[in-house]
Structure 1
């Protein structure tokens, strides 16, 4: 998550949820996600992996491999990714490469937090583009380019699957 995740919680009091209940759930979620950031655990029992986010599922989330891009967003329950089609199991044949598709080569936390926003706004507001293309840079997936030269994660995944299914 980021500093803007409050927008996902802000409307819950309007539905009748007490702010303390929201804070409790956020705390539980944060505590749960601590243990899934490990390589010390390979796989959990199948019944657990079917329902809950696990270290194996979460490694996929942090992978820059094309097959792993934009997958396994769950905090606690992996069933949501399975329901929305964003689930990808960790493959024994494909070790997770942690990081970004294109490395940003910095450890500066301010740059890390905002560099994608800077890139997005540069793409949107520089060069000779239509208003529609400028707006699309703000709403299209990462990798999209108005001239068709970019590749989004679904396209990178398809290429990976084509290449790896032939082997």
Structure 2
């Protein structure tokens, strides 16, 4: 699939019932998952830009409305004055856009200039769903728990995504939750 010769990947942690959020927060705190997210979305490159992430407004606000270190953030919102409201209009590591197409187009252009192979879609529910048709790879942390009162869910994986790599089951000491990392790749149609 890819977008302007740049891989589009999604990354999320999901419960067994596909929950990714509750009250605009992660439903758990798993240090290894947060480290995995940082490692995946931050490239080992010579460029000043180490990664590019695309997210919705609520996801950005769940991170205290601060861009991620060493990465460029594209924030999608329908609020036309959002950049001014959040003081982002002259920010060189965060861009406010008003649709996914603009985010992908600008991110692919930046990725090309920074020699980055991947653009990361990091949430939330609506952005994941809308970006699925452009997505080549999905990195999911499967957390072995049900979240019955969650309010954001990861979309069903399309049938052309197959598990390509899977970590061993791990356990988070603090939360007691079991989890594993699974990498899914879109199979090319014949």
Question: Which TM-score applies when normalising by structure 1?
Answer: 0.29
Structure with greater Cα Rg: 1
Identify, as 1 or 2, the structure richer in helix.
Answer: 1
Q: Pick the structure with more strand per residue.
A: 2
**Bigger relative CO (Cα 8 Å, ≥ 6 apart):** 2
